[in-house]
Amino acid sequence: MEKIVKPLEDSLSYELFGIKFKNPVWTASGCFSYGLEVAENLYDISKLGAVVVKGLSYKPRTGNPPQRIVETPAGMLNSIGLQNPGIEYFSKNILPKLRNYDTVIIANVFGEDEEEYLKVGEFLDKTDGVHALELNVSCPNVKKGGIAFGSDPETLYNLVYKLKQITNKPLLVKLSPNVTDITQTAQACVEAKADGLVLINTLLGMAIDVNKEQPILATKTGGLSGPAILPVAVRMIYQVFEKYGSSIPIVGVGGITTAEDALQHFLAGAVAVQIGTANFYDPYSPLKVIEGLEEHLNKKGYKHILEIVGKAHKLKIT
Amino acid sequence: MIKDYKVEITENRFISGITWLLKFKNKEIAEKAKPAHFVMVRPTSEHQYDPMMRRAFAIADVVDDEIWIYYDVYGRGTKTLTEKKVGDEIEVLAPLGKNLFPENFDYYLLVGGGIGFAGLSYLMKKLREKNKPFKAIYGVRRKEQLSMLDWIKENDFENNVIIYTEDGSYGKKGLVTRDLKELALENENTAIFTCGPHGMMKAVDKIAKEIKVPCYASLESKMACGFGICIGCVIKDVEKDSYVRVCYEGPVFDTYKIEL
């Protein structure tokens, strides 16, 4: 593990991709806007390990028509459709404010086709203040691009390979759980020399209004997130860590509200975690997770969070 | 600043129809609260995820340090909330909403439908405090849906409120739009402020535009967060030709600039 991540003095801090993270708790793309709403109204986002901003495309996108969200058992479906102001607006108007906070800024990037992905990558490669890129090839809510790139290993390999040629910034790939075998898309990313994997994006779902007798979301389907998907994320992290854990860092996302949830991700093999939907119903959740992780390490006598990464794999059930 | 408060319930009881009244005490929220502000209430306890999302409610009144919320029981979230007892602790994110009612008019005509009247009631108090003239229209289908009738009487607003019921079981018979045109044209520099069912607000907006009277709607929408990060609660801004957030760019919108 120390080959890809170097522990620093504080029990939660380390150097990953040559970037210093004060802790391994990040906020997930699409669940934190661009960070400023929370920074200006709720708490100091400098406390976070990193902020992964809402998906950015080259051109602005208006997003999907409402209704965009619906609650489901212990979760929610969303179909926002990657509404965003475009990278130029982001870099001129949002990023300068975001840079005032002492946290790592990761840009989630998206394109409708390969050309747009590459244009976004090229632009953000030259954008000061963006520390790393998270490639969104798994959004289930847009007609073009998105999931189409994330479900076919060959297409994914080509995209990651090309992006790696044009950017020197660390490139993480956020994988879709809507595949038969996630280790295949993970393998494509490893072979294309991605710097990290982010597991998992939302699961494709649908909710139906029984009175109106039609799907609730305007786009009919949406991405399922929230506590309901925690075991799916943990299972997929575990599977990918088992195969590629020694060669590529995994960032866990999916269903985390508490430190205990986050610990499952770490034990399965995640080196960092992202908090998504919990930001909505428990806005201080990322801070509670940071605190809870520290408490857990103390209680268990660990000196550093990296000591538990992938530890669940040592337990063999026969 | 927005804060997530743990507050103790001081009252939570059935009023009439499907409406309940929830009260809790919190000095900070009481001091910060302005008309059109709303709160996000977590219906469950921490670490209970079903129902998971918070529910958005308008601040209907502030009495000393006590916040009053009128809520209709529709689904699992509000049903769960009815099970809370006096003394129970709930999590309340407040105060929410960035764009509130404008105050640059000479006369205010408030149009509330059903539970939407609770989105205008605190404004009535504030308008009276500031000696600003106003009239409020309160419309429901049937008499038992007039859940804020007691509040109107207790606060001596009977002369300011005109009540309409669709079936004629109380007040005037008809829709809130019945006499809207005449009422809106009675005074110079009048603005219409509306809150209620979507169809009603659309009808109010249509009349306002016909007679060229400014109209502002306090909106609600399905929202996950209430403070701008989920981008779920959007409405079309026709000027910008883009979707804007009800919770963050609203909840009050100039109806001439949005697609209701």
In the prediction, which pLDDT does A31 show?
Answer: 97
Q: Are B214 and B144 part of one and the same domain?
A: yes
Q: ∠ CA(B191), CA(B99), CA(B117), 5° rounding? A: 55
Q: Is B254 domain-assigned?
A: yes
Nearest to A69 among B47, B51, B230 (CB): B230
CB contacts of B232 in chain A (<8 Å) are: 66, 68-69, 78, 80
The residue behind tokens 């020399």 is A193
Q: Phi first, then psi: give them for residue A232, nearest 5 degrees.
A: -70, -45
- Cα gap B65→B67, rounded to integer Å: 7
Which one of A77, A82, A281, A287 makes the best mutation probe of the B interface by having the most chain B beta carbons within 10 Å?
A281
Provide the CATH number for the domain around residue B163. 3.40.50.80
Where does residue B159 rank: exposed (0-12), middle (13-18), buried (19+ CB within 10 A)?
A: exposed
In the prediction, which pLDDT does A149 show?
Answer: 83
Q: Which of B64, B96, B128 is the last residue of a domain?
A: B96
CB contacts of A258 in chain B (<8 Å) are: 47
Model confidence band, residue A302 (pLDDT cutoffs 50, 70, 90): very high
H or E element in which residue A235 lies: helix A230-244
Do B231 and A80 make contact, defined as CB atoms within 8 angstroms?
yes
Count how many pairs of residues, chain A against chain B, have C-beta atoms within 8 Å: 102
A61 touches chain B (CB under 8 A): no
Q: Are A45 and A35 in contact (CB under 8 A)?
A: yes
Determine the residue type at B122. Y
Q: Output the average pLDDT for chain A.
A: 94
Provide the CATH number for the domain around residue B64. 2.40.30.10
- Mapped onto helix, strand or coil, the DSSP state of residue A233 is helix
Picking from A204, A56, A21, the residue whose alpha carbon sits closest to that of residue A135 is A56
Model confidence band, residue A246 (pLDDT cutoffs 50, 70, 90): confident
Model confidence band, residue A1 (pLDDT cutoffs 50, 70, 90): low
- Cα gap A29→B38, rounded to integer Å: 26
In the prediction, which pLDDT does B214 show?
Answer: 98
Q: Where are the alpha helices (DSSP H) in A90-228?
A: 95-98, 114-125, 147-151, 153-166, 182-191
Residue A2 has pLDDT above 70, yes or no: no
CB contacts of B222 in chain A (<8 Å) are: 66-70
Q: Are B61 and B163 part of one and the same domain?
A: no
Contacts for B206 with CB less than 8 Å, ≥ 6 apart = none
Do A69 and B224 make contact, defined as CB atoms within 8 angstroms?
yes
CB contacts of A257 in chain B (<8 Å) are: 47, 49
Q: Is B81 domain-assigned?
A: yes
In the prediction, which pLDDT does B259 show?
Answer: 96
DSSP-assigned beta bridge partners for residue B92: B5, B41
Is A139 among the catalytic positions?
yes
- Cα gap A198→B214, rounded to integer Å: 49
Q: Are B216 and B255 part of one and the same domain?
A: yes
Q: Are B170 and B247 part of one and the same domain?
A: yes
In the prediction, which pLDDT does A8 show?
Answer: 96
pTM for the full predicted model: 0.96
Contacts for B204 with CB less than 8 Å, ≥ 6 apart = B111, B176, B177, B180, B192, B194, B215, B217
Q: Is the ipTM of this complex over 0.90?
A: yes
Length of chain A: 318
- Cα gap A311→A237, rounded to integer Å: 12
Do B93 and A283 make contact, defined as CB atoms within 8 angstroms?
yes
Nearest to A279 among B3, B50, B225 (CB): B225
Q: Which domain holds residue B221?
A: 107-259
Nearest to B229 among A38, A68, A76 (CB): A38
What number is the average pLDDT over the span A299-310? 96
Domain count for chain B: 2
Do A76 and B229 make contact, defined as CB atoms within 8 angstroms?
no
Q: Is B101 domain-assigned?
A: no
With CA atoms as reference, the chain B residue closest to A75 would be B52
Locate the domains of chain A by residue range: 5-315
B164 touches chain A (CB under 8 A): no
CB contacts of B228 in chain A (<8 Å) are: 33, 37, 41
Distance in Å, alpha carbon of A73 to nearest chain B alpha carbon? 6
Cα distances from B227 to residues A18, A41, A175, B158, in angstroms, run: 34, 8, 28, 35
Q: Are B151 and B197 part of one and the same domain?
A: yes
In the prediction, which pLDDT does A83 show?
Answer: 95
Q: Which of B96, B129, B156 is the last residue of a domain?
A: B96
Q: Are B11 and B65 part of one and the same domain?
A: yes
Q: Are B62 and B144 part of one and the same domain?
A: no
Q: Are B21 and B13 in contact (CB under 8 A)?
A: yes
**Domain A5-315 = CATH 3.20.20.70:** yes
Distance in Å, alpha carbon of A208 to nearest chain B alpha carbon? 14
Do B54 and A280 make contact, defined as CB atoms within 8 angstroms?
yes
Q: Are B9 and B58 part of one and the same domain?
A: yes
CB contacts of B2 in chain A (<8 Å) are: 41-42
Buried b (16+ CB within 10 A) or exposed e, A136-171: bbbbbbbeebbbbbbbbbebbbebbeebeeebebbb
The one catalytic residue among A139, A199, A216, A234: A139
Q: Which of B96, B118, B145 is the last residue of a domain?
A: B96
Q: Are B162 and B61 part of one and the same domain?
A: no
A89 touches chain B (CB under 8 A): no
Residue A142 has pLDDT above 70, yes or no: no
Picking from B120, B100, B96, B102, the residue whose alpha carbon sits closest to that of residue B247 is B96
A181 touches chain B (CB under 8 A): no
B234 touches chain A (CB under 8 A): yes
Taking phi over 0 as left and psi of -120 to 50 as alpha, with beta for the rest, B156 belongs to: left
Q: Are B42 and B118 part of one and the same domain?
A: no
Residue A244 has pLDDT above 60, yes or no: yes
B235 touches chain A (CB under 8 A): yes
Residue A92 has pLDDT above 70, yes or no: yes
Top-confidence residue, A150 or B63: B63
DSSP A83: -
Task: Render each residue's pLDDT in chain B as its tens digit; 260 residues.
Answer: 999 999 999 999 999 999 999 999 999 999 999 999 999 999 998 889 999 999 999 999 999 999 999 999 999 999 999 999 999 999 999 999 999 999 999 999 999 999 999 999 999 999 999 999 999 999 999 999 999 999 999 999 999 999 999 999 999 999 999 999 999 999 999 999 999 999 999 999 999 999 999 999 999 999 999 999 999 999 999 999 999 999 999 999 999 999 99
